[in-house]
Chain A
Amino acid sequence: MPLMHRIALALLPLAACAAQAHEGATCQVNAPAAVVSARSAFAAQPDSLPALFRLADALVEANCYDEAVHALEEGEERHPRNPELQAKLRTTRSLVSEQTYFAGLEQAEVAARVSRNVLRCSRLGDLNACDEALKLKPNDLDILMAKGDAQLAAGKPADAEQTYLRARQFAPDEAKLGTQLAAAQSQRQAALASCQKGTGDAALAACQAALLRGADDEFTVHTRLAQIYQQRNQPAAALNAYIAANSLRRGDRSVALGIVAITDADPHRDAVASAARGSALLTLRRGTEALAALRQAQALAPAMPDLRNQIVQAQTLARVEAKARTSESAAATPTRVAETAPAQPAKKYSNETEASRSY
């Protein structure tokens, strides 16, 4: 198990460092009152053994073992061969090594968990185990490689490509990484072709496998996924895919039509769906409807980003539409028609004569 061994070797020295760093920080910054008081008493009487012992005891009580050992070692120079001092020094040194030892045991537990997850990730293709291992060691090259391999084996070339690319940040010259990355890219291209040309479940699986965040073809894959979901009568998934595509490239007419078609069929829209509908209607130059949808989104989620800007655009467009409507209606309606139109009979209310009556 070379991979697990390398990780274990890397983890072992951490224990002592962690324990010592923690102790040092606590003892120097937030020393308890007893330590502060014992320090001043000892500073006033540096030759006093009882004062030294009180300081050492206070430091031990505060788990500041290293500092206690230093204090006693300094005392040893002033009081050589004092049996009580020797005994205290021996015990305190033992506490230091004990603390390091227990930190080591705790670290062993952590290292074992990492090794277990790496083993399951690399040997059994257990992606959950890969993620668990990366939680503890997020930038570990070996674990990233193992995860990429597991993703590739699971037919997720896009995810594998992403993982290998992340791993490459830590080892740009790693030959195996280059080979695996090329394999993932090749597998993804094949999946991309099936996604575009295939049908049914196979096409859906291919699109999901090929979908790579940040890739040039991400918009195309989302759009294709949306179409496949629509064909399968899965409007929620289709809408999500269209929304993802729309967020990548706003203003695409086919995506806008897709979003409007799906949201037309469902009047109970949440904030995201309303915002997507508003955005799509803006693309289709339907300002008044866009404004209504965007305002609905704003009412549901006032903090949603980019809404305000789109609302301003929709308001402008709506005003243009209103003007156009007014002009159209003015052009279409001759003024004399209005003049010759029969006058509406004035309404007569039963209480007309009762001015004081409240309606």
Chain B
Amino acid sequence: MVDDVLRRCVLMAAPLMLSACVARPPTIAHVHLGHALTGVHVTPGKQGYLLVAEKQAEDVFALAQKATTGADLAQLKADVAAAVNATNSTTEFGLKHSLVMASNHISFAATSPDASKNVQDAAPVFAHDTVRVVERCELIGLLGKDVAASSSVKEAQLLAGEIAVLAKANLEGEDADHDGVVGNQPAEFGMKQLRAELDGIIARENPPYRTVDQWYLFNLVKLPNGRWVFDKLGRGGNIDGYQ
């Protein structure tokens, strides 16, 4: 009787034990993708770069919209300055910086020894497709400087309106060629289209991409010889300038 129970227990536990034995760490390429998607140790809230970029794009749009309604020049300038900061700040992971970092990490994924052909092919395309958002960010910065230097409420309002249009395009994409479709080519892309593109890359992965555990996300380090490894001491560090 005892033997029978024991045998049943062993049989029931076998699949669990087997799955524990075959559980593998994620590929290095997928950890890099995870930094773009899920989390990385340096960002505010340790969120993935693309998540940070999306949040900043929303904030920029909200601040720019607020600025367009302002009749007080000082307040309008303050709102635009905040929008510019959320767009271009490096230290506070503004939209541009976060997006460039997301793109960099997808490129890191493509150069990893275990990268799939899908990632290798898609990384340069994704990098190219981010350029229009980066350009809008640059333009927001330039117009922000013009607002800061302006002594006319009318001029500042007009410029704030343009910043709001750019911020909306960065969020949702635009219809630059007036074909009635928003974001149907890279020159019209905003964060929405870039997110869809990255989701497409992930969906095509084989073996499938699975959400990477935080331990792996925060403990991937690059050795001086260029190899990527997991820091077994789990120091969550930033070795060799890797961010």
Contacts and interface: CB of A to CB of B under 8 A. Distances in A.
Contact of A12 (B120, B131, B142, B165): B131
Contact of A115 (B111, B120, B139, B178): B139
A90 B127 CA distance: 16
A105 B131 contact: yes
B123 interface: yes
Contact of A101 (B127, B132, B135): B127
A2 B107 contact: no
B139 A9 contact: no
Contacts, number: 90
B148 interface: no
A93 B110 CA distance: 9
Interface residues of A, number: 34
Contacts of A113: 138, 142
B144 to A, nearest CB: 10
A119 B162 contact: yes
Interface in A1-37: 1-2, 4-6, 8-9, 12, 15-16
A123 interface: yes
A109 interface: yes
A249 to B, nearest CB: 44
Interface string B117-146: 000100110011001101110110111001
A97 B162 contact: no
Contacts of A6: 176
Instruction: Give the interface size class of chain B.
Output: 20 to 34
B213 interface: no
B71 to A, nearest CB: 19
B186 interface: yes
A90 B176 contact: no
A97 B107 contact: yes
Contacts of A97: 107, 110, 123-124, 127
A87 B113 contact: yes
Nearest to B120: A90
A9 B115 contact: no
Contacts of B176: 2, 5-6, 8-9
A107 B135 CA distance: 8
A168 to B, nearest CB: 24
A4 B139 CA distance: 11
Contacts of A75: none
B181 interface: no
B128 to A, nearest CB: 6
Contact of B132 (A2, A8, A123): A8
List the 7 shortest-distance A-B pairs measured between CB atoms, nearest first. Answer: A97-B124, A112-B138, A5-B176, A108-B135, A112-B139, A116-B142, A101-B127
Interface of B: 100, 103, 107, 110-111, 113, 115, 120, 123-124, 127-128, 131-132, 134-136, 138-139, 141-143, 146, 155, 158, 162, 165, 174, 176-178, 186-187
